[in-house]
Amino acid sequence: MNMGEEMNITEDEAALYDRQIRLWGLDAQRRLRAAKVLLIGLRGLGAEIAKNIVLAGIKSITLMDHTDSTEEDGCSQFLISRSDVGKNRAEASQENTQRLNPMVEVVADTQSADEKTDDFFTKFDVVCATCCKQTTLLRINKICSDHNIKFFGGDVFGFYGFMFADLGEHEYAEEVPKPKPKDEGGEPAAKKAKTEEVEMVTVKKSVDFSRLQTALQIDWSSESAQRKLKRTPNTYFIMQVLHDFMEKHSRSPDAKQKENDIKLLIEQKTKTLEKLNLSPTLISDDFASFCFAELSPVCAIVGGVVGQEIIKAVSLKDQPHDNFFFYNGIEGSGLVDRITSS
């Protein structure tokens, strides 16, 4: 679907989405109502994203996950009941996702994203990939970029979380304040300045995003990168350590073998930072103790941001985050940062 294409809203939908239509307008709601979304990964973060965009009123969502639910899902995956432990995550999440909004088509897909052909991803307007290895994220991002599909990636590891967005060449509308024309007669100039009124006007803007690969292939030994280093959130580098860990061990850090995985994470930190031409002291070894499980508050924060950004991307309303959002629960900080080698 062309992102500018819109769908007519029925009376029932207008009543259901009344508050949203008042917030971002009928045209934006029509665009949402036409959007087909693929959500990969139905753990805690995926559940939060699904909730946020289904309630917003998209056309359809395909829940994709090839893994089975575990007892750990009870901590953050509210779409899966405890009686569904051992069942496929996508199928176990489908019913409760559908209950959130009967007007949205909800489909479960139990295959792995790595098993899908490139053509599969081109059926969607937005692809959001969570719980994926970095090689998977890079592959899907390239497919989406080549076919003008909005791409989001993200994950949560204990106290840390991130989102990456690539919307390609993205146009959007934003309301900005504009001073009202001055009345030249009447009150003194000093008094006029204090009472000057503004009106909100809608202006069209655009932003050009970069691919994930470009955001990761930075020569940190260069002089320009070294100047940016102090301003770059350390969660960006922790994210790379965790992705390298996932590539090597084909899993996330496991709380059931926490002591051993802490050692593996510290070893991986040294290797990853050396690969990036950075000192291993850039990240304290303490980080490794806070990378386990999906904490529900962190999932809620990162999932809220991802859901918000998907809504903004589809509705073409308001300035999007370009291109990373990082959350560090140890510091209690959330930061948006544009990181690219170009």
pLDDT digits over 213-255, tens only? 999 999 998 888 888 998 999 999 999 999 999 999 999 999 9
211 within a domain of the structure (yes/no): no
Confirm if 155 and 161 have CB atoms less than 8 A apart.
yes
- 230 and 98 housed in the same domain: no
> Which residue bears the tokens 């510290």?
266
The structure's pTM equals 0.91
Question: Is 193 a residue whose pLDDT tops 60?
Answer: no
Confirm if 287 and 303 have CB atoms less than 8 A apart.
no
The reported pLDDT for the residue numbered 1 is: 43
- 302 and 180 housed in the same domain: no
Confirm if 314 and 31 have CB atoms less than 8 A apart.
yes
The reported pLDDT for the residue numbered 36 is: 98
Mean pLDDT value across residues 188-208: 76
- Residue 342 — pLDDT band, cuts 50, 70, 90? low
Give SS3 for 162: strand
Structural domain that includes position 155: 11-168+295-337
Question: Is 9 a residue whose pLDDT tops 90?
Answer: no
- 183 and 227 housed in the same domain: no
What is the average pLDDT score of the chain?
92
Q: What is the C-alpha separation between 257 and 31, in angstroms, rounded?
A: 46
Tens of pLDDT, residue by residue over 11-26, are 888 888 888 888 888 9
Which amino acid is present at 175? E
Confirm if 48 and 302 have CB atoms less than 8 A apart.
yes
- 15 and 154 housed in the same domain: yes
Q: What is the C-alpha separation between 119 and 21, in angstroms, rounded?
A: 34
CA angle, 306 as apex, 125 and 233 as ends, to 5°? 125
- 53 and 160 housed in the same domain: yes
3 within a domain of the structure (yes/no): no
